[in-house]
Amino acid sequence: MNIPDLAIRPATVEDLPAILDLYQELVASYGPAPDEGRVDHQELWRQVMSDTRQQVLVGEQDGEIVGTVTLVLVPNLGHQGKPWAAVENVAVRSDRRGRGLGTALMSEVTRIARSRGCYKIVLTSNLVRQRAHQFYRRLGWRQTHAGFTLSLI
């Protein structure tokens, strides 16, 4: 998919504020969040950036970060040693949705996972995000498992 002026690239240190803004839009769709106290985003960002199994990508258009996605690659003893991947934090700026940006981000993480020999990619999506579920289905994702969450906060 070719979207004018869209560049998908690994996130950099300078992208953190824009990524956090995108995450705020994502969290807002879930309703009020519990007060988790002060978070040292700079330290967490250093940890994320140094994690070789984790890739945060951004979509940049017209000089602005308009989307992001995180891909985590997981080594695996099963499935003949083929790794698997997880997708997390898929977010496109609300005023840019419906233009193919999310599709482009998901295509890129799929390309990366394939290039790394992954046998599957998994993601979870909050049950309240019905439009997101429709989006994933349009991209060919199938709901093949029941997911469970144990909240630790």
Asked if 32 and 50 count as a contact pair (C-beta separation under 8 A), the reply is no
As assigned by CATH, the class of the 6-138 domain is alpha beta
| pLDDT tens series, the chain, 153 aa | 568 789 999 999 999 999 999 999 887 766 655 666 678 999 999 999 999 999 999 999 989 999 999 999 999 999 999 999 999 999 999 899 888 999 999 999 999 999 999 999 999 888 888 889 899 999 999 988 887 878 786
Of 136, 122, 113, 111, nearest to 8 (Cα)? 111
Going from N- to C-terminal start, the domains of the chain cover 6-138
Instruction: Quote the pLDDT of residue 73.
Output: 98
Q: What are phi and psi of 128, to 5 degrees?
A: -75, -10
- What's the predicted TM-score (pTM) here? 0.88
